[in-house]
Structure 1
Amino acid sequence: MSGHVGNLSPKQEATLAEFKENVKDITRPHFDDHYFLRWLRARNFDLKKSEVMLRNNMKWREQNKVDTMLEWFEPPEVMLKYYTGGLFGQDKEGALIWIDPNGYIDIKGILMSMRKQEVILSKVYLLEKIYAMFEEKTKEQGRRVDQMVIIFDMEKFGLKHLWKPGVDVFTQIIAVFEDNYPETLKKTFVVNAPKIFPLAYSLLKPFLSEETHRKVTVCGSNYKEVLLQHIDADQLPAHWGGTCTDPDGNPRCPSLIIPGGQVPESYHRQNDLDDVSAFTQVSIGRGSTLKLEYVVDKPRCAIRWQFKTDGFDIGFGVLKKTADGPQKSAEMEEVVATQRVNSHMVPEDGMVQCKEAGTYVVRFDNTYSWARAKKLLYLIEVLQPQTFDLDMPKVDSSSSLASSPGDDVYKSF
């Protein structure tokens, strides 16, 4: 049995009923059997794992205000103009098609022009737009539309795309997708894969579930024939084997599929910290950590951070104390998992909403380095709920720059 509505075994039916009962405290009116089964399939109908996954998702959505994201967030202009990809048509079974000429992305230029957190938020915004489109297509077409086919065109992909901060962003986007939008991917086709592709894929594979990995097909030189087995020609740009072109005859259809290209220097702000007058500068000794405590006096406050290091990376995480007095890191609740970040290449920034009041610990970790101390510049702020609501990232709507294909990709659903 497939695990989809109308194709469940008796055991799967029973598991679905029990799952719905277990999570009824967080169930919302729009949660139907299709919704619940996505989480069950993602964890092979393991009740406990599926429940943990769904509860983590609900917590993530609350912390990041995802449910209202389409109201308060707009992707920065450079994202709309230069981050490759776009929706184009549907496959033979109705799944939406995302085509990404990934080899033409200038990820370094993008990260020099906007903050990493803005890139990730822009991708979450896009996924929320796509989910809204799923609902519209389902109503319009009288069939269930809730999955995507992704075509990655790796033409021009090279070593420059393996720049560490860029890879970090890709892996974080994948993690967000895997953890919070399960069973959205129907199939991925990789075309024009260069010799370096196995190395690139090896960096991403640890972040993919086994089921996602099974959905990836690397096509050979006959990729157009392969794509047409799954997609009708009138649903595919001519460049990838279909019959569609832009009004001017362009076979790549850049009016809907952002073609990428080098980000102009006029967008570059070096993503740097120009004014560091409010920042604190410290040196974290080799094999040492820096723990900074912040008292959050009410729920829904947010902790926001900006920092950079000089020459080398640093570990970063946010913890919550579970008792008064001194506590080891291992005894605290993990709020933001500690990981090494390349803040010497691209300044790091981010924010997390605190669901509960309490004492939170921002931790900079240099314990893995026994040879070097790290010079750190940081600014940590605790934002009150009203400030947090008003301080969500926006873009300047007064910009005089021309519209781009990305405006359609993100807004015209």
Structure 2
Amino acid sequence: MGSSKQFTPEESQKIQQLRSACSAILNTEQNEDHYLIRWLRARNMDVEKAEEMLRKSMKWRKDNEVDGILEREEVPIKYRRLFPTGDFGRDSEGDVVIFIPYGRYCHRLVIGVEGMETVLRWHIIWMETMNRLVTNAEKETGKKGLRLVQIVDFDQYSYKELTYSPGREFLIKTNKVADENYPELMKSMVIINAPKVFSLLFGVIKPFMSKETISKISIISGNEETWKKELNSKLNPENVPVRWGGTKKGTDEYCSQIPEVWLGTPVPLSYFTSDYKVHDFQTKKIAAGEKFEVEIPVDISKYPEGTTPNLVWKFKVENHDIGFSITCKALSIGNGDNKSESASSSLSSESVESTVNAESRVDSKEGIQEGNCTIYTSGLYTLLLTTDTAIHAPRQFITLSK
């Protein structure tokens, strides 16, 4: 019955041997056959090596206070939205299917702001969450020994993400955590939309992966129709959003606002529909106490009757925080010829500056900022970004799109 197959006489014997050696350090669930067999299989059924591995992992759990971590700690919601994981139900054998939109992850955003140790801590929370998904599925179905099927989408993955050294280091460290402490939790990993640079990424992390892990990874090549068809043959389409070939519907094809699809945290639709990434923007450095302005002249008279222009902005602060505001100096437009003048030349020295968007502080942890406002008055609109002289770091980095 799928992942709940029976053990051979040899496996049963070695499970009992491992249990006898380690039962004192294991809880009730950890003493079960389907838990112990994972450690044995990870060490080619060598009881002594499996015991060594298991004892090291139990010490790791104690040293890092892993037991009960899901009740004590959580990843901030802003990062759960920036690094979402989808629950795509079960495969044909009852194993848990998760979806990872890896190509849209930006590790320089989170590691650069929060630091490696914090992000690694969050990864432990993620691993424990995945383990609980499997445990809950076992309780719901009555099957034992269920595992994870990971669908990893590399759409929008870029070379710049590949060249971010801390991001590669993070991958290597998290793979080590999984191999040493969650053996045989992963049943398989299916990669879709792999870009040309994927081979470079895989070449970097492959030496740090076990042969067993590597053997479970498959790449579906070909166009979208090809990988959708293959995913449908492996998964239950009713649990997969339309975007990835399933039939599950929400307010959009990504089911972005359905909590149960995204582990309780709805994801902004723009996360999936925006083809820009942080590292694709123009980068501007602003020293402490300085400011950066973007001036946009707007002449309402040049727009068709009955229409109004929109001012749209997107930006991201990479370190610390920054002040953001929008002001407008109204145009002094006279009769006739003045309407043909540019917005900037129509301004007089007496033009009164008004506030369109009052200054607010934007923290680097808040991710990409985007907004818009309708323009009803001709004028010179200025988007202003300012740093604070009290900032300890000598420079800030922001990313702009206009």
TM range (shorter): 0.5 to 0.7
Give the Cα separation in 1 of the matches to 2:8 and 2:94: 25
> Quick check: 1:238 aligned with 2:242?
yes
Structure 1: any 5+ residue segments left out of the alignment?
A: 271-400, 403-413
**2:102–2:153 Cα contact (<8 Å) kept:** yes
Q: Which residue of 2 aligns with 1:190?
A: 191
Sequence identity (%):
28
Q: Which residue of 2 aligns with 1:43?
A: 43
Deviation string, structure 1 residues 232-253 (Cα, Å, up to 9, x no partner): 211212111111132x123364
Give the Cα separation in 2 of the matches to 1:189 and 1:141: 24
Q: Which residue of 2 aligns with 1:283?
A: none
Q: Which residue of 2 aligns with 1:265?
A: 316
Deviation string, structure 1 residues 303-336 (Cα, Å, up to 9, x no partner): xxxxxxxxxxxxxxxxxxxxxxxxxxxxxxxxxx
Deviation string, structure 1 residues 56-94 (Cα, Å, up to 9, x no partner): 100000000000212321213432121243222221212
> Quick check: 1:206 aligned with 2:207?
yes
**What is the TM-score when the length of structure 2 is the normalising length?**
0.62
Structure 2: any 5+ residue segments left out of the alignment?
A: 280-314, 322-365, 368-402
3-state SS of 1:98 partner? strand
Q: Which residue of 2 aligns with 1:71?
A: 71
Give the Cα separation in 2 of the matches to 1:266 and 1:55: 44
Q: Which residue of 1 aligns with 2:153?
A: 153
How far does residue 254 in structure 1 lie from its aligned partner after superposition? 6.0
**2:150–2:188 Cα contact (<8 Å) kept:** yes
**1:75–1:118 Cα contact (<8 Å) kept:** no
Deviation string, structure 1 residues 265-293 (Cα, Å, up to 9, x no partner): 357439xxxxxxxxxxxxxxxxxxxxxxx
**What is the TM-score when the length of structure 1 is the normalising length?**
0.60
**1:94–1:145 Cα contact (<8 Å) kept:** no
Q: Which residue of 2 aligns with 1:250?
A: 253
**2:101–2:152 Cα contact (<8 Å) kept:** yes
Instruction: Write the mapping of 1:95-106 to structure 2, written as runs, cut at 5 A.
Output: 95-106=95-106
Give the Cα separation in 2 of the matches to 1:166 and 1:42: 27
> Quick check: 1:22 aligned with 2:21?
yes
Give the Cα separation in 1 of the matches to 2:94 and 2:205: 28
> Quick check: 1:140 aligned with 2:140?
yes
3-state SS of 1:146 partner? coil
**Larger RCO of the pair (alpha carbons < 8 Å, separation 6+):** 1
How far does residue 144 in structure 1 lie from its aligned partner after superposition? 3.0
Q: Which residue of 2 aligns with 1:108?
A: 108
3-state SS of 1:249 partner? coil
Give the Cα separation in 1 of the matches to 2:257 and 2:200: 29
Give the Cα separation in 2 of the matches to 1:168 and 1:78: 23
Deviation string, structure 1 residues 176-196 (Cα, Å, up to 9, x no partner): 111111111011111111111
Give the Cα separation in 2 of the matches to 1:152 and 1:146: 19
**1:78–1:113 Cα contact (<8 Å) kept:** no
Distance 1:5 1:27, change over 3 A: farther
Instruction: Write the mapping of 1:10-409 to structure 2, written as runs, cut at 5 A.
Output: 10-30=9-29, 31-144=31-144, 146-162=146-162, 163-221=164-222, 222-246=226-250, 248-251=251-254, 253=256, 255=258, 256-257=261-262, 259=271, 262=278, 265=316, 268-269=319-320
Give the Cα separation in 1 of the matches to 2:319 and 2:37: 44
Runs of 4+ aligned residues of structure 1 deviating over 6 Å after TM superposition are: none
Give the Cα separation in 2 of the matches to 1:145 and 1:241: 28
Deviation string, structure 1 residues 1-37 (Cα, Å, up to 9, x no partner): x9x7653232222222211122233232222111111
Distance 1:266 1:197, change over 3 A: closer
Q: Which residue of 2 aligns with 1:9?
A: 8
Give the Cα separation in 2 of the matches to 1:14 and 1:145: 18
Structure possessing the higher radius of gyration over alpha carbons = 2
3-state SS of 1:87 partner? strand
Give the Cα separation in 2 of the matches to 1:254 and 1:159: 30
**1:87–1:98 Cα contact (<8 Å) kept:** yes
Amino acid at match of 1:230: K
Distance 1:212 1:28, change over 3 A: same
